[in-house]
C-alpha cells in the first residue's frame, strides 16, 4: 500500500505559506511517526504528503530526507519513504534511557526552583497537550508534548542533555494514543503535564520525580500497544 492510495487514519494540517515551513513540516512528520499516524510498512510519497499539507513536494521531500538521517524513516529509491520499524525491546530500551536522564533531571529542576515566568510559559504548553487530546489530534499532541518536555529539561542548563532526550523521544513510538482516546483515558493522562508543573512550582522535588517516572512508564504502558498492522509496500 502506498500513501497515494489514501490513508484513513492520517490527518495532516494544511500549512499554506509560512516562514518556517520546512521546520514545521519536519516537526509534524516527526510527530506523525512517533504517534504511529505514519505507520511502519506503508510507503509514503513526498507528492502525496505534500498534497495533504497544501504545499509543493520539495520541502516535504527535504524534510523526509532529514528524518531519514535521524533514522526515523528509510528512503526507498524511486518509491518514497517508509517508517523505520522498532522492536518492543528497542522501545523498552529507549524508555529506560529516557528515565535514567529525565527523572533525576526533573528532580534537580524542582529542587533548584524555577521563576514564575517559566511556569507561566510552560502552562500554555500543558494546556495545549490536553486540548489536542480532547480533539484527538494525535500529531499535535505528540508535537506539543515534545516541546513541553524539551523546554522543561532546558532549565537544567545542559544543551547536550536536551539534544540527547530529543533524539530518544524522536526514536520512540506511541501507538496506543488512539485506543486511549477511544477509552476516554487520553485527556486524564495528558493532565499529568499540568500536575508536573504544579509540583515543580511547589518545590516538591520528590513528587515531581515520582510523577515523571510514572509518566515515562505510561509511554510503554497505558500509552502503548502492539505495533499496528503493516501493509506490504
The tens-digit pLDDT sequence of the chain (233 residues) is 444 444 444 555 544 444 578 888 999 999 999 988 888 888 999 999 999 888 999 999 999 999 998 888 999 988 889 998 888 898 889 999 999 999 999 999 999 999 999 999 999 999 999 999 999 999 999 999 999 999 999 999 999 999 999 999 988 888 778 888 888 888 888 999 999 999 999 999 999 999 999 988 877 665 555 555 444 43
Measured in degrees and rounded to the nearest 5, phi and psi for residue 183 equal -95, 5
Last residue of a domain, one of 18, 50, 83: 83
Give the range of the structural domain holding residue 188, as residue numbers without chain letter. 88-219
Indicate whether 229 belongs to any domain: no
For residue 183, tell me if it sits in a domain.
Answer: yes
Residue 230 belongs to a domain? no
In-domain check, residue 74: yes
Residues 49 and 147 occupy one common structural domain: no
CATH code, domain carrying 55:
1.10.10.10
- Sign for the CA dihedral angle at 89, 93, 95, 96 comes to positive
How many structural domains comprise the chain? 2
pLDDT digits (tens, 9 = 90+) for 27-75: 999 999 998 888 888 899 999 999 988 899 999 999 999 999 888 899 9
CB atoms inside a 10 Å sphere around CB 226: 8
177 and 148 co-located in one domain = yes
Amino acid at each position: 500500500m502506498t500513501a497515494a492510495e489514501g490513508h484513513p487514519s492520517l490527518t495532516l494540517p494544511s500549512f499554506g505559506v509560512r516562514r518556517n515551513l520546512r521546520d514545521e513540516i519536519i516537526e509534524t512528520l516527526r510527530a506523525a511517526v512517533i504517534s504511529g499516524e505514519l505507520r511502519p510498512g506503508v510507503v509514503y510519497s513526498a507528492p502525496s504528503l505534500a498534497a495533504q499539507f497544501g504545499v509543493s513536494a520539495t520541502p516535504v521531500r527535504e524534510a523526509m530526507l532529514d528524518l531519514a538521517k535521524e533514522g526515523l524513516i528509510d528512503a526507498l529509491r524511486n518509491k518514497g519513504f517508509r517508517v523505520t520499524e522498532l522492536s518492543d525491546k528497542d522501545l523498552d530500551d529507549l524508555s529506560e534511557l529516557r528515565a535514567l536522564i529525565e527523572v533525576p533531571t526533573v528532580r534537580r529542576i524542582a529542587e533548584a526552583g524555577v521563576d514564575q515566568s517559566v511556569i507561566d510559559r510552560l502552562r500554555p504548553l500543558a494546556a495545549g497537550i490536553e486540548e489536542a487530546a480532547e480533539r484527538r489530534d494525535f500529531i499535535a499532541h505528540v508535537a506539543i508534548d515534545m516541546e513541553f518536555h524539551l523546554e522543561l529539561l532546558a532549565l537544567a542548563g545542559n544543551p547536550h542533555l536536551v539534544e540527547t532526550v530529543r533524539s530518544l523521544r524522536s526514536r520512540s513510538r506511541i501507538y496506543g494514543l488512539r485506543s486511549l482516546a477511544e477509552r476516554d483515558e487520553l485527556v486524564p493522562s495528558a493532565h499529568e503535564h499540568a500536575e508536573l508543573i504544579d509540583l515543580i512550582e511547589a518545590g516538591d522535588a520528590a513528587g515531581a520525580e515520582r510523577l515523571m517516572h510514572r509518566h515515562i512508564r505510561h509511554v510503554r504502558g497505558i500509552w502503548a500497544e502492539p505495533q499496528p498492522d503493516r501493509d506490504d509496500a
